[in-house]
Amino acid sequence: MKHILSLALALGLLAAVPDTFADTGRTEFFKQKLASVPKPELPASAADMVKSAKSSDRESTTKGVVKAGVGLHPAATPAIVGAIARTEPDMAATAAGTAAAEQPKLAVAIARAAAMAAPSKAGKIVVAVCRAVPNEYRNVAIAVAQVVPGSGTEILEAVGTALPGFKAEIQRALAGFGNNAPSVAAVLDRAGSGAAGSPGLAAPAAPLPAGSFARGPALGPPYIPLSGTVTNTVPGNSGDVPPGGRNYAAP
């Protein structure tokens, strides 16, 4: 209760300071307030800060709170995003996109946590995270599809929105499946293959199967060029071969 009252007071003070401070020192301000919060309570406290903000400030508060929380405890990033998304679903995409930009290696876990907490915002979450970490679009889309069943079409459209260069290929891939309900992975793989031949686009990097390893360059003895002059040997000057072959010494 003390933490909630303290955070509410802090937000009130923040609202009273000049806009210049709010723009330049918002993250640091929230970091100072969250620094005293016990680590297990950090996600809930971050969500309370977002919830307590005025509606007009909620988006900027979400960005500042997420950056502050992630800066203090990077490993708690998915939990922070999940708590904010659960408390304020409209801020799920903002929280996820901000967190993914801060912690790209956690992009998939961030998207999954946000989508689980706010499934109705699955498409917006995919757009935000894919824009922040475009190279992870395939894994992000598949992760969200797994935790939000039936959202495949919405997710694929979201990928096209985040990465416009793939939009036409995604639509073409969907049409190629006809009435069959394709998986998100299948559509993205087909779209990526088609986009690979387009300027500026590349096919998605599919992960290697479990237990397999990429083949490295083959190693062999160094090439040693022949010495002397190379000549052609013809039957006329190669000598006679006795019946049964030449009597070479056995090794």
The pLDDT of residue 52: 94
Which of the pair, 242 or 197, is modelled with greater confidence? Answer: 242
CA distance 183 to 35: 43
Q: In the prediction, which pLDDT does 18 show?
A: 42
Q: How far is CA 133 from CA 48, 78, 90, in A?
A: 27, 15, 21
- Distance CA(52)–CA(5), nearest Å, equals 10
Between CA 89 and CA 120 the distance in angstroms is 8
pLDDT at 41 over 60: yes
Give the residue carrying structure tokens 């003895």: 221
Q: Residue 102: pLDDT above 70?
A: yes
Q: Is the distance from CB of 77 to CB of 70 less than 8 angstroms?
A: yes
Count CB atoms within 10 A of the CB of residue 206.
Answer: 11
User: Comparing 251 with 132, which gets the higher pLDDT?
Assistant: 132
| Selection from 75, 63, 74, 77 nearest residue 29 by Cα | 63
Contact 159, 166 (CB under 8 A): yes
CA distances from 166 to 35, 123, 181, 189 (A): 42, 16, 20, 11
**pTM flag (> 0.85):** no
Cα(242)–Cα(230) distance, integer angstroms: 26
Distance from C-alpha of 107 to C-alpha of 135, rounded to nearest angstrom: 10
Q: In the structure, what pLDDT confidence band is assigned to residue 218 with cuts at 50, 70 and 90? A: very low
What is the model's pLDDT at position 63?
Answer: 95
Q: How confident is the model at residue 209 (pLDDT cuts 50, 70, 90)?
A: very low
What is the token pair recorded at 184?
Answer: 């998100």
Range from 85-89, 114-118, 151-155, 229-233 carrying the lowest mean pLDDT: 229-233
